[in-house]
Amino acid sequence: MQNPNSRTPRLEIERIGGREIRHAVWSAKAGSKPQRPILFFNGIGANIELMAPLAEWIDDRDIITFDMPGVGGSPPPRVPYRPWMIARMTMRLLDHLGYDKVDVMGVSWGGGMAQQFAFQHPSRVGKLILAATSPGMLMVPGEIGALSKMANPRRYFDTQFMKDNFRALYGDEENVAGSHADRISPPTRVGYAYQLGAMVGWTSAPFLPFVRQKTLVLMGADDRIVPVVNGKILETLIPRARLEVVAGGHLFLVSRANESVPLIKEFLAESDEDFEAKKAA
């Protein structure tokens, strides 16, 4: 068993829903009051270690995440998959780990998965946090130069390419490029391709009006990949959504943690009345 005083995650590879999946659980620090855990969906090609700072910033809750098939320590998928399949697998992972209701957070590609999970398994979701993401196929695209580099898996295989193109890719301060690149474990080419293909033709727009969870939409003012207007679309379509725009680009959760993390913590702690008052303001 994991030491309750440690924030080192418990990492395991297990067969969940017919797939071998590497997953991680950070236990809340000792003495924390019981709160809903956070289920985190990562960005495309991103391994567990890239979201490790979140566990340091929000240390009073259990945090659960996993590597998508073919990413990090999860073996490559044998066949393509769709978002609903991953949502179903995620529910089975929560069952396996003994978690019932969770707050759900997704960033970029993972924001789409978070939307799918919230719609598909609403009884398992408390609050919803969508960061640097969009409604999928109907999104307003970012800059062509940034999108072309984003689609290129070289950013994960070639550390120098990542560092040289960091600002073009993410629009963030370059002083976080090194630490970000150092945590990367390159995805397999099949895993990356299947992750790209999973969202082809997918959009959350038809079902977002039926998502009833209180939702915080976080967008970076200088995001060159997912412009702020996509956050406004999400806020419009989700009945109980509130949009907050912070400085920084696509990786504002890392580069602007001092601004974005307090917003997340405040949202997770606020009452229904406070949420509605802020939404109406």
Find, among 132, 130, 145, 113, the residue nearest to 251 by Cα: 132
The residues that bridge with 130 in the sheet, in sequence order, are: 106, 217
The residues that bridge with 25 in the sheet, in sequence order, are: 10, 64
φ/ψ of 40, rounded to 5, equals -115, 130
Residue with tokens 């393509």: 80
d(CA 182, CA 49): 10
Which residue type sits at 52? A
Residue with tokens 């062509």: 144
Tokens of 98: 């003994």
d(CA 226, CA 222): 9
Sheet holding 10-16, edge to edge: 10-16, 19-26, 63-66, 38-41, 102-107, 125-131, 215-220, 241-246
φ/ψ of 132, rounded to 5, equals 50, 45
**Catalytic residue set:** 108
